Amino acid sequence: MTSGGEAQKDAIAVLTSGGLDSAILVADLSRQHRHVYPIYIRAALQWEAVELAYLQRFLEAVARPTLEPLVILDQPVADLYGSHWSMTGRNVPDAATPDEAVYLPGRNLLLVLKALLWCHLHGVPTLALAVLCGNPFPDASDEFFRRFADVVGAALKDRLIVIRPYGHLHKHDVLIRGRGLPLEWTFSCIRPVDGKHCGQCNKCAERRKAFADAGWTDPTAYAS
């Protein structure tokens, strides 16, 4: 660990869940920067054990000298979310639900704060997120991330930056950037079944559509 003032040269952190967008972003940035730190934050959500296993397999498959070991941080939310579907696995939004149904209140606040604190303590000035064009949620805009980074930086007497390299892209555009990557080891499901994508939830539907829009065969193993 370094102090906040000892910035690493050409280093960037990437907040990743191991889904299509953030996994592709990790691989993409590892071709552009000398040090890329993937950060996964566990919140004790019901799909995370499977998600993390996929992410670790993906990172092994795309390993290169510039890609640093996965950083795993904990930010449990059970005391906040209680009996929410993300904690219990019951009444999970299905393929027919709008995107708003999968919104988790305050999730970006918690994730970005934790990741920025890690960046400050390790001399990494920039945090990258795979937030895409058209994200409808109030905590996913350029303005939100800029102002939030300024607040955290002011509290730490540091200059921290949050960037959205894919902020101008849609999911099928990102998928095309991931051509040749082991996308079968990305994970986008909120109700996994026996270690596989359930094939029925809102996120699985979004994943299927992305491959269809790109004109690709979907390599995902779905439970149904």
Burial class (CB in 10 A: 0-12, 13-18, 19+), 121: middle
Judge contact between 128 and 88, C-beta under 8 A: no
Distance in angstroms (rounded) separating the CA atoms of residues 124 and 57: 25
pLDDT of residue 129: 97
Say which residue, 201 or 1, is predicted with more confidence: 201
Calculate the alpha carbon distances from 51 to 18, 69, 160 in Å: 7, 17, 28
Burial class (CB in 10 A: 0-12, 13-18, 19+), 214: middle
The model's pLDDT over 98-148, given as tens digits with 9 standing for 90+, comes to 888 888 988 999 999 999 999 999 999 999 999 998 877 888 888 999 999
CATH 3.50.50.60 fits 11-214, yes or no: no
pLDDT of residue 1: 52
Residue 221: pLDDT over 60: yes
The DSSP code for 176 is H
Could you tell me what percent of the chain has a pLDDT over 90?
86
pLDDT of residue 138: 82
Q: How many CA atoms lie within 13 A of 41 on its CB side?
A: 21
Q: Which residue has the tokens 């219990």?
A: 88
The model's pLDDT over 179-217, given as tens digits with 9 standing for 90+, comes to 999 999 999 999 999 999 999 999 999 999 999 999 999
Q: Would you state the structure tokens that stand for residue 211, as one six-digit string?
A: 């491959």
- The letter for the amino acid at 86 is S
Q: Cβ of 110: how many Cβ atoms within 10 Å?
A: 17
Q: Can you give the pTM of this predicted structure?
A: 0.94
Give the start-to-end residue ranges of the domains of the chain.
11-214
Judge contact between 41 and 15, C-beta under 8 A: yes
pLDDT of residue 4: 52
Please provide the average confidence, as pLDDT, over all residues in the chain.
Answer: 93
Q: Which residue has the tokens 């979004």?
A: 206
pLDDT of residue 139: 85
